Amino acid sequence: MATKSGWVEKRQFERVVATLKADYRLVDPKDSKKILENTNYKNTTVDQLPELSKTSSLYHAVTKDISMGGLALVGEQPFPMGGVVEIGLHLPKYKSVLKFLAEVVHTESFKEMGRVIHRAGVRTMAINQEDLEKINQYLISQMSK
């Protein structure tokens, strides 16, 4: 078997395999640019985030894995490469949904049991610091199992 040469790991954070419920909406690029221009976006609370995606449909997905820098989503709708999505992540033991903006940095589609499934790697762009800490606590709990 041939070995890969020149392979460079681009991930900055360790990933944890996790199947979690997630919802997402496509965000208009003009709207995402507005929030990302705000240097304090990481200090906002969920209720302070503008409602960026009200005109977009809500899609359902599940995570394949998760890290402090992003996650992999699997769903029935194609993901827009380079697009921005508003994700609602359902962590176990938390009543509220974690909401954040992410960029779709990788996509692929494949057939499984006669239907087309879409997978995307997303990089977190804007998230509340408290929600990021909740993700960190979840990751630590999963790594210790």
Helix or strand holding residue 132 (H, E):
helix 129-143
Provide the pLDDT for residue 138: 93
Q: What is the mean pLDDT of residues 29-41?
A: 64
- Does the domain at 16-143 match CATH 2.170.190.11? Answer given as no
Can you give the residue ranges of every domain in the chain?
A: 16-143
Q: What is the mean pLDDT of residues 14-42?
A: 77
The pLDDT-based confidence of 14 (bands split at 50, 70, 90) is: confident
Q: What is the mean pLDDT of residues 128-134?
A: 89
Its pTM stands at: 0.77
> Could you tell me which residues are beta bridge partners of residue 23?
60, 88
> Could you tell me which residues are beta bridge partners of residue 16?
66
The pLDDT-based confidence of 93 (bands split at 50, 70, 90) is: confident
CA-to-CA distance for 86 and 100, rounded, in angstroms?
Answer: 6
Residue-wise pLDDT tens digits, 39-77: 545 555 545 444 544 567 889 999 999 999 999 999 999
CA-to-CA distance for 78 and 75, rounded, in angstroms?
Answer: 8
Check if the beta carbon of residue 127 is closer than 8 Å to that of residue 42.
yes
Check if the beta carbon of residue 81 is closer than 8 Å to that of residue 109.
no
**What's at 55, amino acid-wise?**
T
For the chain, what is the total number of helices (H) and then of strands (E)? 2, 7
